[in-house]
Chains A and B, each alone.
Chain A
Amino acid sequence: MQLFAKLDSPRTVVLDLVTVLVVIAGVSVLAAVGSSYLQGALVIFSINAILVISYRTITTMGGWSFAHVAIMGVGGYAVAVLSKPPMDIPVAVTFALGGLAAGLVSALLAYPVLRTRQYYFFLSTFAAGEALRQCFIQFRQLTGGTSGIAFIEYPAFVQTGDTLQFLALVLAVFFLLGLFYLMFDASETGMKIRAVGLDETLSQSLGMNPWRLRALSFVLGSVGAGVAGGLLVSYNGIVAPADFSPELMFKIVAACIVGGTRRLYGPILGLTFLTIVEEAFRGVPEYVPFVWGGLVLAATLYVPNGLEGLVDRLRTSLVRRRRHA
């Protein structure tokens, strides 16, 4: 029990940090030896990794948003619109602006959405996300409708067409954001947010402002999603509403369910697992949602804390065995 209950013991933070570094190292090695197909898949995986760690920051406050991917889209469209004429802002700068735009939209959504709890929260974020997606489709003058906006460039310092260089950029962003979220999580504010997630009534009675703390984690998580959206758009060279589909949202949620969200490493583990499954079923992509669905269903029914829970069980049993020896 104790091992995973100690949320702020240095050892667990180290485990998170190690996971982030292992992912970066693993992706780098695979990319160095792999085919160009694999390199492309690794870029997408790394972008999704940014997405899941930013999503986890939102879940710490106790609510599962279903608008995350749509908010990621806000970042993506911001990059597309701002980097092209007439704005012509350098792509690297638009990444940051995309993150800001996503943060701004989420801040606007936060007021109505965060007044709600449980059922209302996930239903209203679901509906809000869907409405955002409809906006991408309907505001044709700005977003290009269903066909989207094409010919978006890499940032100037990445050579056009060089997947490896772009991957290095994504990994750098992943590392920085991972570090940031980890520090935020272990900060006093981060602890308070988790307290609100654990017991809102108690937290409020002690003097925390639950709405403010929830809004903060919602906005910070959304900024990460916006940056991930910008990277995706720049890598694809095109942005379209289909990039921010409910299926991607499901993948993110599934990664968090299968992996667990107590620690930062959980969702990354979950995402890695799901991605491996996805690649294993590459020949029959239409079955992938079925397999993911089955995994999520199995996880909810039999492994409540996801892979994290399994890791913890493993660690406790190891400790016990060591004691007996």
Chain B
Amino acid sequence: MQIALNILSLTSFYMCFALGLALVFGVMRVINFAHGEFYMIGAYSAFLCVSLIGPTTGALPAYIVSFAAAAIVTGLLGVLLYLVVVRKLMDKPLTIFIATLALSYMLQVVVVELFGPVGRSLPSPIPGIVRIGDAILPWSRVFVIVAISTLSVGLWFLLMRSDVGRRVRAVAQNPTGAVLQGVSVTRVGMMTLVAGSMIAGVSGAIMAPIGGITPFMGAAALWKAFIIIIVGGIGSIWGAVAAAFLFGTIDTFMTVAGAGRYLALTNAVIMLGVLSVMPSGLFGEKE
């Protein structure tokens, strides 16, 4: 039971990080290397928000507000990224990757200058632990699981049930066909990038009280996200979800078995193994 809870908690963490990346890639074939920094900036926005209004409103409402703040800040960054970089380099995926890599370093330096290189920590939104049978889970983790589930389900509804979602899916499947149907690919592209950035920001805000906040937290989590979306199949959102669950399970079991040191190695070997057999990942489209 305890293990199942840990798996759930780890999966949700992996998922929230990989989801935005997978969404942006799936629709626009663009890898945003600065995704990690957007995540980190989301966390800092939450930190600012909670330290400013937390004392007056109490922890939980402050957190809810901080999600909105994080979404606005990273959403604006997404708009900026689209207008300055992506629009100009649309047909050169590698160059976009490099440009966003450069951007990620710049953002890192800015945050270090503003907040200092030392990490910050945030109080838990809901203190205490919850017992389920003989298993225990801190409330803060329950909070994360609930928040991320809400985020994922919301995204699913948006993609599957709304008019905007239909257009986004049309572009992802067949950009030329979508143009013929009168869908503005650039508009949808910008919307997706902004949505992906907002997801990154909100994820950062959600995770802030658990993982602590440092200017380097995005970079540290990014390679894991890469492995997840590669194994899941780049562009496949549901593949990313499945891979997040896969690695959530594997990592939990390895940690329980006391082999946590070899996590990175195992993950990489799994990724290389999957690539050897299926170069497009488990659920990726064929080239």
Partners in one complex: yes
Q: Which residues of A come within 8 Å of B, CB atoms?
A: 64, 109, 111-113, 115-120, 122-124, 126-128, 130-132, 134-135, 138, 246-247, 250, 253-254, 257, 286-287, 289-290, 292-297, 300-301, 304
Does A127 contact B227, Cβ atoms closer than 8 Å?
A: yes
Does A123 contact B234, Cβ atoms closer than 8 Å?
A: yes
In this complex, which of A109, A113, A124, A254 has the most chain B Cβ atoms within 10 angstroms of its Cβ?
A124
The B62-110 residues at the A interface (CB cut-off 8 A) are 84-85, 88-89, 93-95, 97-99, 101-106, 108-110
Does B105 contact A289, Cβ atoms closer than 8 Å?
A: yes
Does A113 contact B95, Cβ atoms closer than 8 Å?
A: no
Does A286 contact B113, Cβ atoms closer than 8 Å?
A: yes
Report if B155 contacts A (CB, 8 A).
no
Q: Which 6 residue pairs are nearest across A and B when measured between Cβ atoms?
A: A131-B268, A134-B264, A296-B102, A290-B109, A293-B106, A293-B102
Does A109 contact B106, Cβ atoms closer than 8 Å?
A: no
In this complex, which of B102, B110, B112, B273 has the most chain A Cβ atoms within 10 angstroms of its Cβ?
B102
Does B226 contact A127, Cβ atoms closer than 8 Å?
A: yes
13 contacts between A and B (CB under 8 A): A112-B276, A116-B279, A119-B29, A120-B234, A122-B97, A124-B272, A127-B267, A250-B105, A286-B112, A297-B99, A300-B89, A300-B98, A300-B102
Question: Which residues of chain A are near B105, meaning CB under 8 Å?
Answer: 247, 250, 289-290, 292-293
Contact of A301 among B29, B88, B113, B271 (CB under 8 A): B88
Question: Which residues of chain B are near A111, meaning CB under 8 Å?
Answer: 276
Question: Which residues of chain A are near B106, meaning CB under 8 Å?
Answer: 289-290, 293-294, 297
Question: Which residues of chain B are near A113, meaning CB under 8 Å?
Answer: 272, 275
The B198-254 residues at the A interface (CB cut-off 8 A) are 219, 223, 226-227, 229-230, 234
In Å, the complex CA distance between A296 and B103 comes to: 9
Report if B262 contacts A (CB, 8 A).
yes
In Å, the complex CA distance between A138 and B267 comes to: 14
Does B102 contact A131, Cβ atoms closer than 8 Å?
A: no
In Å, the complex CA distance between A254 and B98 comes to: 8
In the complex formed, the residue of B with least CB distance to A247 is B105
Question: Which residues of chain A are near B263, meaning CB under 8 Å?
Answer: 134
Question: Which residues of chain B are near A124, meaning CB under 8 Å?
Answer: 226, 230, 271-272, 275
Question: Which residues of chain B are near A122, meaning CB under 8 Å?
Answer: 31, 94, 97
Does A120 contact B98, Cβ atoms closer than 8 Å?
A: no
In Å, the complex CA distance between A296 and B94 comes to: 13
Does B93 contact A130, Cβ atoms closer than 8 Å?
A: no
A118 and B94 in contact, given A111-B276, A297-B85 (Cβ under 8 angstroms)? yes
B270 to chain A, nearest CB (A): 10
Question: Which residues of chain A are near B98, meaning CB under 8 Å?
Answer: 64, 253, 257, 296, 300
In Å, the complex CA distance between A128 and B223 comes to: 9
Question: Which residues of chain A are near B153, meaning CB under 8 Å?
Answer: none
In Å, the complex CA distance between A119 and B88 comes to: 18
In Å, the complex CA distance between A123 and B105 comes to: 17
Report if B261 contacts A (CB, 8 A).
yes
Does B31 contact A294, Cβ atoms closer than 8 Å?
A: no
A294 and B102 in contact, given A120-B230, A131-B264, A301-B88 (Cβ under 8 angstroms)? yes
Does A126 contact B223, Cβ atoms closer than 8 Å?
A: yes
B50 to chain A, nearest CB (A): 27
B30 to chain A, nearest CB (A): 9
A287 and B109 in contact, given A112-B276, A120-B275 (Cβ under 8 angstroms)? yes
Does B109 contact A128, Cβ atoms closer than 8 Å?
A: no
Does B103 contact A293, Cβ atoms closer than 8 Å?
A: yes
B90 to chain A, nearest CB (A): 12
Question: Which residues of chain B are near A300, meaning CB under 8 Å?
Answer: 85, 89, 95, 98-99, 102
Report if B265 contacts A (CB, 8 A).
yes
Question: Which residues of chain B are near A119, meaning CB under 8 Å?
Answer: 25, 29, 31, 93, 97, 234
B59 to chain A, nearest CB (A): 33
Interface string of B100-139 (1 = CB under 8 A from A): 0111111011101100000000000000000000000000
In Å, the complex CA distance between A246 and B261 comes to: 20
Question: Which residues of chain B are near A287, meaning CB under 8 Å?
Answer: 109
Question: Which residues of chain A are near B93, meaning CB under 8 Å?
Answer: 118-119
B56 to chain A, nearest CB (A): 35
Question: Which residues of chain B are near A115, meaning CB under 8 Å?
Answer: 275-276, 279
Question: Which residues of chain A are near B163, meaning CB under 8 Å?
Answer: none
In Å, the complex CA distance between A135 and B268 comes to: 10
Does B279 contact A127, Cβ atoms closer than 8 Å?
A: no
In Å, the complex CA distance between A111 and B265 comes to: 17
A286 and B265 in contact, given A120-B230, A300-B89, A300-B102 (Cβ under 8 angstroms)? no
A10 to chain B, nearest CB (A): 31
Does A289 contact B273, Cβ atoms closer than 8 Å?
A: no
In Å, the complex CA distance between A112 and B269 comes to: 10
Question: Which residues of chain B are near A254, meaning CB under 8 Å?
Answer: 102
Does B279 contact A120, Cβ atoms closer than 8 Å?
A: yes
Question: Which residues of chain A are near B264, meaning CB under 8 Å?
Answer: 130-131, 134-135, 138
Question: Which residues of chain B are near A135, meaning CB under 8 Å?
Answer: 264-265
In the complex formed, the residue of A with least CB distance to B266 is A131
Additional pairs, 17, CB under 8 Å, beyond known A109-B272, A112-B272: A64-B94, A119-B31, A124-B275, A127-B227, A130-B268, A131-B223, A134-B264, A135-B265, A138-B261, A138-B262, A250-B101, A289-B109, A293-B102, A293-B103, A293-B104, A297-B99, A297-B102
Question: Which residues of chain B are near A297, meaning CB under 8 Å?
Answer: 85, 99, 102-103, 106
Does A127 contact B265, Cβ atoms closer than 8 Å?
A: no
A283 to chain B, nearest CB (A): 15
